[in-house]
Amino acid sequence: MKAARLEDGTLHIRDVPVPVPGDEEALIRISASGVCHSDLHLARGDWRGVPRSGTIGHEAIGVVEALGPGAEHFVHEGDRVILGLGGAGGYWCGACEYCLRGQPRHCKETKGIIGTFAECFAVWAPSLVQLPDTIGDQEAPLACGGLTAYGAVKKLLAHHVLPGRPVAIIGAAGGLGHYAVQIALAFGYEVIGVDVGAERLEFVRSLGAHLAVDADEAIDVVQREVGGVDASLVFSAKMAGFGLGLKLLRRAGLFVAVGLPATSEGNLELNPFELFMLDPTIIYSAVGTVQDMRELVDLAAAGRVKSHVSRVGALSDLAVIFEELEAGKYTGRAVITDLTR
């Protein structure tokens, strides 16, 4: 079968053996795999210490083709499924302190899902979520981009930011941000989308955001309109977006970091006196749980969350798509819908 591999940062399409599903694993024939910005970060070596070789791709929709021993308890041949959980949590033990606390990402046994830019992929069957036919293959980015946004918005509830309250989404037109706008609206928040440039702001408005503001004007507009937000969700890949997220908060607000800027972007600066004055709660949110994936699939099935896909292609287009993403050629996501060539 065909599969994309990074070898020292260079992308190759190789012929490799079809994997054999192990215990409790299902073999999935991939029908679509989304191109996530983290694939590009990996290829470009943007994160210090993360290897630039190996299989890639982690957001996919496919059909169960074969079952390993025990997998029949979770899925059946022919089931159409989404491979949720992105780069963390394709397997978890279910019994450690983190798993029992609902944070399987921190489980020592966690294995990521990585390698879905391939015709087939073997995955731990309990992590699969069934898809209704009303959700098309182009919704594959829900598996990481959508799930990551869902996990971040859901944390607002855990930190007592109530529906109806104003929240800022920084990077609102982006691959994750555009999901967060839709999900936060579905949860009932007053959504202030922050991005850069008229075209991107128009897109944020089209998603139904109550306000769409340019990053340059965000502090003034947010102060004037709502006197500061209860929470900032930062999806930006730039450190400036993180700084802005803190400045938009009202006192004792919630700061949810989601983006992962390149190491070269440096560090987030925090001044202790400002911390004393502002008293923010600062958390990070990465991917989500299988239960989050199920809830997001329900929202998508109800038509309340949709992926904005600007480009589809075949496996052999991947290198070109990386270049297009790097050049910021389109606002939405790219999805590989033909894994056979």
Which segment (17-25, 34-42, 159-167, 207-215) binds Zn ion by CB under 5 A?
A: 34-42
Residues with Cβ within 8 Å of 23's Cβ and at least 6 positions away in sequence, in order, are 68, 69, 70
Q: Which of 3, 27, 36, 147 binds Zn ion (CB under 5 A)?
A: 36
Is 99 an interacting residue with respect to Zn ion (CB under 5 A)? yes
Which amino acid does the sequence have at 102?
G
Q: Which of 16, 40, 96, 196 binds Zn ion (CB under 5 A)?
A: 96
38 or 232: CB nearest Zn ion: 38
Is 93 an interacting residue with respect to Zn ion (CB under 5 A)? yes
Cβ neighbourhood burial of 332 (10 Å; 0-12, 13-18, 19+): middle
Asked if 278 and 251 count as a contact pair (C-beta separation under 8 A), the reply is yes
What span, in angstroms and rounded, lies between the C-alpha atoms of 230 and 48?
33
Nearest approach in angstroms of CB 171 to Zn ion is 14
For residues 117 to 146, the per-residue mask of contacts with Zn ion, x marking binding by CB under 5 A and - elsewhere, is: ---------------------------x--
Nearest approach in angstroms of CB 34 to Zn ion is 8
Is 177 an interacting residue with respect to Zn ion (CB under 5 A)? no
What span, in angstroms and rounded, lies between the C-alpha atoms of 139 and 266?
33
96 or 262: CB nearest Zn ion: 96
Q: Which of 38, 289, 331, 337 binds Zn ion (CB under 5 A)?
A: 38
Which segment (83-91, 234-242, 276-284, 301-309) binds Zn ion by CB under 5 A?
A: 83-91
Which segment (102-110, 123-131, 282-290, 320-328) binds Zn ion by CB under 5 A?
A: 102-110
Please give the full DSSP string across 157-226, using - where no structure is assigned. HHTT--TTSEEEEETTTSTTHHHHHHHHHHHT-EEEEEESSHHHHHHHHHTT-SEEEEGGGHHHHHHHHH
Nearest approach in angstroms of CB 50 to Zn ion is 13
Is 290 an interacting residue with respect to Zn ion (CB under 5 A)? no
Asked if 244 and 215 count as a contact pair (C-beta separation under 8 A), the reply is yes
Report residue 341 as tokens: 């060539």
Q: Which of 86, 90, 115, 151 binds Zn ion (CB under 5 A)?
A: 86
Is 107 an interacting residue with respect to Zn ion (CB under 5 A)? yes
89 or 228: CB nearest Zn ion: 89
Nearest approach in angstroms of CB 276 to Zn ion is 36
Is 116 an interacting residue with respect to Zn ion (CB under 5 A)? no
Cβ neighbourhood burial of 221 (10 Å; 0-12, 13-18, 19+): middle
List strand residue ranges (DSSP E) for the chain, in order.
2-7, 10-15, 25-35, 54-55, 60-67, 80-83, 120-124, 128-130, 166-170, 190-195, 211-214, 229-234, 249-257, 281-284, 309-314, 333-338
192 or 287: CB nearest Zn ion: 287
Residues making contact with Zn ion (CB under 5 A): 36, 38, 86, 93, 96, 99, 107, 144
